[in-house]
Amino acid sequence: MSEYVGDLNSAQLELSGSALRRPFDPTAHDLEITFRLTRFADLKGRGCKVPQEVLNRLVSSLQQDFSTQDESGFMQMSIPRIGIGLDCSVTPLRHGGLCLVQTTDFFYPIVDDPYMMGKIACANVLSDLYAMGVTECDNMLMLLAVSTKMTEKERDVVIPLIMRGFKDTALEAGTTVTGGQSVVNPWCTIGGVASTICQPNEYIVPDNAVVGDVLVLTKPLGTQVAVNAHQWLDQPERWNRIKLVVSEEDVRKAYHRAMDSMARLNRTAARLMHKYNAHGSTDVTGFGLLGHAQTLASHQKKEVSFVIHNLPVIAKMAAVAKACGNMFQLLQGHSAETSGGLLICLPREQAAAYCKDIEKQEGYQAWIIGIVEKGNRTARIIDKPRVIEVPAKD
Amino acid sequence: MSEYVGDLNSAQLELSGSALRRPFDPTAHDLEITFRLTRFADLKGRGCKVPQEVLNRLVSSLQQDFSTQDESGFMQMSIPRIGIGLDCSVTPLRHGGLCLVQTTDFFYPIVDDPYMMGKIACANVLSDLYAMGVTECDNMLMLLAVSTKMTEKERDVVIPLIMRGFKDTALEAGTTVTGGQSVVNPWCTIGGVASTICQPNEYIVPDNAVVGDVLVLTKPLGTQVAVNAHQWLDQPERWNRIKLVVSEEDVRKAYHRAMDSMARLNRTAARLMHKYNAHGSTDVTGFGLLGHAQTLASHQKKEVSFVIHNLPVIAKMAAVAKACGNMFQLLQGHSAETSGGLLICLPREQAAAYCKDIEKQEGYQAWIIGIVEKGNRTARIIDKPRVIEVPAKD
- Please write the tens of the pLDDT for every residue from B209-218: 999 999 999 9
Q: What angle do CA B102, A52, A133 make, to 5 degrees?
A: 50
Q: Which residue of A has its CA nearest to B42?
A: A185
**Statement: residue A7 has pLDDT above 70:** no
A-chain residues within 8 Å CB-CB of B99? Answer: none
Q: Closest chain B residue to A142 measured between Cα atoms?
A: B74
Q: CB neighbours of B152 closer than 8 A, spacing ≥ 6?
A: none
Task: Check: CB of residue A91 under 8 Å from CB of residue A79.
Answer: no
Torsion angle, CA of A111/A115/A117/A120, rounded to 10 degrees? -130
The percentage of residues in chain B with a pLDDT greater than 70, rounded to a whole number, is 83
Of the candidates B8, B69, B144, the beta carbon closest to that of A61 is on B8
**Mutate which: B185, B188, B199, B287, vs A, most A CBs within 10 A:** B185
A55 contact residues in B (CB cutoff 8 A): 182
Name the residue facing B49 among A96, A108, A183 (closest C-beta): A183
pLDDT over threshold 80, residue B202: yes
Sort out which chain B residues have CB atoms less than 8 A from A164's CB and list them: 61-62
Distance CA B325, CA A341 (A): 57
Asked if pLDDT for residue B354 goes beyond 50, the answer is yes
Q: One-letter amino acid identity for B21?
A: R
pLDDT of residue B347: 97
CA distance A194 to A175: 9
Chain B: residue whose CA lies nearest to A90: B178
pLDDT exceeds 90 at position A322: yes
Digit-coded pLDDT (tens) for B223-255: 999 999 999 998 999 999 999 999 999 999 999
Sheet (strand B99-107) strand order: B89-92, B99-107, B189-198, B139-147, B177-185
For residues B222 and B361, the answer to whether their CB atoms sit within 8 Å is no
- Return the pLDDT at B38: 85
Q: pLDDT-derived band of residue A71, with 50, 70 and 90 as boundaries?
A: very low
Nearest to A179 by CA among B112, B292, B80: B80
d(CA A394, CA A22): 12
Please enumerate in sequence order all residues whose Cβ is within 8 A of that of A127, keeping only pairs 6 or more positions apart, or say none. Answer: A87, A265, A266, A283, A285, A339, A340, A342
Shortest Cα–Cα distance, B184 to chain A (Å)? 6
Range in A93-102, A113-122, A345-354, B353-362 the model is least confident about: A93-102
Comparing CA positions, the residue from B103, B95, B167 lying closest to residue B132 is: B103
A331-387 per-position pLDDT tens digit: 999 999 999 999 999 999 999 999 999 999 999 999 999 999 999 999 999 999 999
Q: What is the pLDDT of residues A267-302, one digit of tens each?
A: 999 999 999 999 999 999 988 999 999 999 998 999
Q: A93 or B61: whose pLDDT is higher?
A: A93
User: How much of chain B, in percent, has pLDDT values that exceed 90?
Assistant: 61
CA angle A153, A155, A159 (to 5 degrees): 135
Count interface pairs A-B at CB distance under 8 A.
Answer: 218
Question: Averaging pLDDT over each range in A42-56, B141-155, B275-289, which range is the top one?
Answer: B275-289
- Across the interface, whether the CB atoms of B74 and A100 are under 8 A apart is answered no
Taking the CA of residue B223 and the nearest CA in chain A, the distance in Å comes to 20
Q: How far is CA A285 from CA A126, A128, A223, A346, in A?
A: 12, 10, 10, 20
| Distance in Å, alpha carbon of A181 to nearest chain B alpha carbon | 5
Q: What confidence score (pLDDT) does residue A292 get?
A: 93
pLDDT at A66: 40
- Window from A78-87, A153-162, B34-43, B378-387 with minimum mean pLDDT: A78-87
pLDDT above 60: residue A164:
yes
C-alpha dihedral over A193, B136, B216, B119, to 10 degrees?
A: -60
Q: What is the mean pLDDT of residues A4-23?
A: 47
Q: Which residues of A touch B182 (CB under 8 A)?
A: 49-50, 55, 78-79
pLDDT at B86 exceeding the cut of 80: no
Mean pLDDT score of chain B: 85
> How many CB atoms sit inside 10 A of residue A394's CB?
9
CB A165 within 8 A of CB A117: yes
Q: In the beta sheet, which residues pair with residue B374?
A: B304
Q: Would you say B226 and B251 are in contact if contact means Cβ atoms under 8 Å apart?
A: yes
Radius of gyration, alpha carbons of chain A: 20
Residue B179's closest chain A neighbor by CA? A74
* Choice among A57-71, A127-141, B83-97 with the minimum mean pLDDT: A57-71
Contact A100 B136 (CB under 8 A): no
Whether B88 is catalytic: no
Confidence of residue A59 (pLDDT cuts 50, 70, 90): low
| pLDDT band, residue B53 (cuts 50/70/90) | low
The CA distance from A40 to the nearest CA of chain B, in Å, is 12
Q: Say yes or no for a CB contact (<8 Å) between A197 and B65.
A: no
Name which of A70, A121, A181, A54 is nearest B179 in CA terms.
Answer: A70
pLDDT at residue B48, rounded to an integer: 63
Residue A327 has pLDDT above 80, yes or no: yes
Q: Would you call A157 helix, strand, or coil by DSSP?
A: helix
Residue A26 has a pLDDT of 87
Of B145, B57, B182, which is closest to residue A186 (Cα–Cα)? B145
pLDDT range class, residue B208, cuts 50, 70, 90: very high
The whole-angstrom separation of Cα A26 and Cα B195 is: 39
Chain B contacts of A74, Cβ < 8 Å?
A: 142, 177-180
> Is the model's pLDDT at A221 over the cut of 80?
yes
Per-residue confidence band for B180, with pLDDT thresholds at 50, 70 and 90: confident
| Cross-chain residue pair A91–B178, CB shorter than 8 Å | yes
Task: For A44, list phi and psi in degrees, rounded to 5.
Answer: -110, 135
* Inter-chain CB proximity A185 and B187 less than 8 Å: yes
pLDDT band at A52 (very low <50, low <70, confident <90, very high): low
B91 vs A contacts (CB less than 8 Å): 138-139, 176, 178
In A54-83, which positions are buried (b, 16+ CB within 10 angstroms) versus exposed (e)? bbbebbebbeeebeebbbbbbbbbbbbbbb
Span B32-61, average pLDDT = 70
